Amino acid sequence: MESRRLQSVRAVIDFIETHLDGRLNLERTAAAVHYSKYHLHRTFTAVTGMTIHDYAVRRQLTEGARLLAESDRPVLEIALSCGYESQQAFTAAFKEMYKLPPARYRAQGVFYPLQLPLCLEEQGNLAELSGQRIRLSKETDIPAWLELARQCVDGYPCLDERDYLRWLRKSIREGQALILKNGDTVLGALGFSRETGNIDFLGIPPQHRKWGIAELFLRELADRYLPGREISMTTYREHDRADTGWRAGLKRLGFEEREKLVEFGYPTQRFVLPVCGLQSVCAKEA
C-alpha cells in the first residue's frame, strides 16, 4: 500500500519537473499520471504535507529565481517559461513568496531555492523509533545531512549552502549537531547552540514528519544537552504564504510565540518552548 502511494506521488513529482514551463493544475497532472484527481490530491498531501498546486507553484518560482540569478533573460520571458501568463502575475507570486520583486532579487545575484524536487524513499514502519538512536553527528554524515537540508529547504528561506556548510562543520566540531539515521538515510537532524539554547536547524523530510521524530529530538535535547533550559527557534511569521506548516508544527510541540525578527533580510518570528512545555513533550514521548 505504502509503495503504491509513493509511486503515485513520485509520478506527480516527475511530471511537474518536466512541465515547469506550463500550467500545472490538479486536473492536468492527474490525467497525465492516470490517477483520479481526488485520490491524487489526498495521497500527495498526506505524503508531502503540501497540495499539488502549492508544490508546483513553489517549484516554478524556484526555477524562476534560478533564471533570474543565473541568466540575463528578460523577466517576461522567465515568467512565461515558468507557466505564468504575464509578467505582472509572476511578479506578484514571486514577491509573495520571496519577499522581493524579481528585479531586486536579480540584483542580489544569489540564487536560493524555495522548493527543491522531493526525493521519496521507502522506509518501512518507523513507529518504533526511539531517541536512543539519536547521536552526535560526524564529518562523515555531512553529505547525507546536506541532502536532508535540501529536502527541508521549505522551512529555511534564504538558505545558502556554502554558509550552511560552514555552520554545519562548526556545529559538528563543537558537539552541537544531532542526527537520526535509518541505515544510510537521514530521518532527521538538529543543530543547536549550547550558549543560547536556540535550535538553528531542525530538518525532517516531509514524508517522515508524522512519525513524532521532532518530539524525539526535543526530548533528547532537553534531557541530555540543554537540561532545565528554555529552547527557542525561529520560523515564519503568521500568514506568510511561504510557510508549509512550520508555525503550526512548533505550536503542536508546545512552542509559544515571542518577538518578531528579520533574519537575512527575511521576516521571521521567534518561538520559545518553556521548561514546562518540555516536560509535557517528554511525558508524552516517555
> What CATH number did the domain enclosing 90 receive?
1.10.10.60
Which helix H or strand E contains 135, and what residues bound it? strand 135-136
The answer to whether 16 touches 24, Cβ cutoff 8 Å, is yes
Any idea how long the chain is? 286
Residue 120 falls within a domain, yes or no? no
Q: How many domains does the chain have?
A: 2
Residue 114 falls within a domain, yes or no? no
Pair 8, 93 in one domain: yes
Look at residue 167 and tell me whether its pLDDT is greater than 50. yes
Pair 212, 100 in one domain: no
- Averaged over 85-99, what is the pLDDT? 97
- Boundaries of domain holding 240: 131-285
Residue 119 falls within a domain, yes or no? no
Task: Assign residue 250 the CATH number of its domain.
Answer: 3.40.630.30
Pair 149, 225 in one domain: yes
Pair 135, 103 in one domain: no
Residue 118 falls within a domain, yes or no? no
Residue 186 falls within a domain, yes or no? yes
Residue 45 falls within a domain, yes or no? yes
CA distances, 127 to each of 182, 193, 221, 258, 285 (Å): 12, 29, 20, 33, 12
Pair 56, 137 in one domain: no
Residue 17 falls within a domain, yes or no? yes
pTM recorded for the entire structure: 0.91
Residue 269 falls within a domain, yes or no? yes
pLDDT, tens digit (0-9, with 9 covering 90-100), for 151-162: 999 999 899 999
pLDDT, residue 286, reads: 47
Look at residue 247 and tell me whether its pLDDT is greater than 60. yes
pLDDT, tens digit (0-9, with 9 covering 90-100), for 114-144: 999 999 877 666 667 788 899 999 999 999 9
Pair 62, 140 in one domain: no
Rounded CA gap, 131 and 286, in Å?
A: 10
Pair 216, 270 in one domain: yes
Pair 138, 28 in one domain: no
pLDDT, tens digit (0-9, with 9 covering 90-100), for 20-66: 998 888 899 989 988 899 989 999 999 999 999 999 999 999 999 99
Pair 59, 163 in one domain: no
Pair 96, 190 in one domain: no
Pair 93, 178 in one domain: no
pLDDT, tens digit (0-9, with 9 covering 90-100), for 99-118: 999 999 999 999 999 999 99
